[in-house]
């Protein structure tokens, strides 16, 4: 009789342990699913800040002339040296003053590099197309960028590109001037000996 009770107890213990592990596994999956977008927004906000600092440094040293396209992939920051005045889709006034590489690997989200969007109001660093934000919006589907996009206002709207971690898009370049149909970053002169 003792063996029978021990066997029954062992079966009950095994079943309850299996249910407990199954419950904990499902809880883990749910928590990851629920909080992953928030984690992703934090990564995006941090990467956007870092990229803005890098582009300010590039502009201060080499002078960013302009970007070639409406959507410009940021896939060239790990380049040490290059020929000509163009790196990726970015054109420089003083390519000899390039101080790359700025990163070992180009920052990505969902294995896609960030982009610079060229608008009438300036050039903006934004997450890659297909990125799902914490607010449920998808870049390229729900939030579409073109030359008329008001990304600056989008970055101040929590229903679009404003996260609890900060804006998920940022304008690069302190001074922007219009040069025909393209936005041109004016080089920032650090001291009087720098003449562009």
At 4, the pLDDT band (50, 70, 90 cuts) reads low
Characterize 21-47 residue by residue with b for buried, 16 or more Cβ atoms within 10 angstroms of its Cβ, and e for exposed: eeeeeeeeeeeeeeeebeebbeebbeb
Please determine, for residue 136, whether its predicted confidence score (pLDDT) is greater than 60: yes
| pLDDT tens track for 137-183 | 999 999 999 999 999 999 999 999 999 999 999 999 633 333 333 44
Q: Is 89 within 8 Å of 38 (Cβ atoms)?
A: no
Per-residue pLDDT at 108 exceeds 70: yes
Q: How far apart are the first and last CA of the chain?
A: 96
Q: How many angstroms from the chain centroid is the CA of residue 143? A: 14
Summarize pLDDT for 60-90 with one digit per residue, the tens.
999 999 999 999 999 999 999 999 999 999 9
Share of the chain above pLDDT 90, in %: 67
The CB-side HSE value for 43 (13 A sphere, CA atoms) comes to 18
Whole-angstrom CA distances from 174 to 59, 73, 171 are: 10, 21, 8
Residues in the chain: 196
> Is residue 126 scored above 50 in pLDDT?
yes
Q: Which of 5-14, 36-45, 90-99 has the lowest mean pLDDT?
A: 5-14
Measured distance CA(95)–CA(58) in Å, rounded: 10
Distances (CA, A) of 120 to 32, 48, 49, 88: 39, 20, 22, 21
The 8-class DSSP code of residue 96 comes to G
Instruction: Output the pTM of the full model.
Output: 0.73
């Amino acid at each position: 009789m003792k063996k029978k009770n021990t066997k029954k107890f062992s079966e009950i213990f095994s079943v309850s342990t299996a249910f407990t592990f199954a419950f904990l596994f499902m809880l883990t999956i749910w928590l990851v699913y629920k909080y992953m977008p928030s984690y992703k927004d934090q990564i995006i906000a941090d990467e956007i800040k870092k990229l803005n600092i890098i582009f300010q440094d590039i502009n201060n040293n080499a002078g960013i002339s302009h970007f070639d396209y409406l959507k410009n992939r940021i896939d060239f920051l790990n380049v040490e040296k290059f020929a000509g005045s163009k790196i990726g889709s970015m054109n420089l006034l003083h390519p000899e003053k390039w101080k790359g590489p700025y990163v070992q690997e180009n920052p990505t989200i969902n294995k896609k590099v960030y982009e610079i969007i060229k608008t009438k109001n300036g050039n903006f660093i934004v997450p890659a197309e297909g990125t799902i934000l914490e607010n449920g919006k998808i870049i390229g589907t729900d939030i579409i960028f073109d030359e008329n996009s008001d990304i600056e206002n989008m970055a101040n709207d929590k229903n679009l590109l404003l996260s609890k971690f900060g804006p998920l898009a940022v304008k690069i370049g302190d001074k922007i001037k219009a040069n025909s149909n393209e936005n041109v970053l004016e080089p920032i002169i650090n001291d009087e000996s720098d003449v562009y």
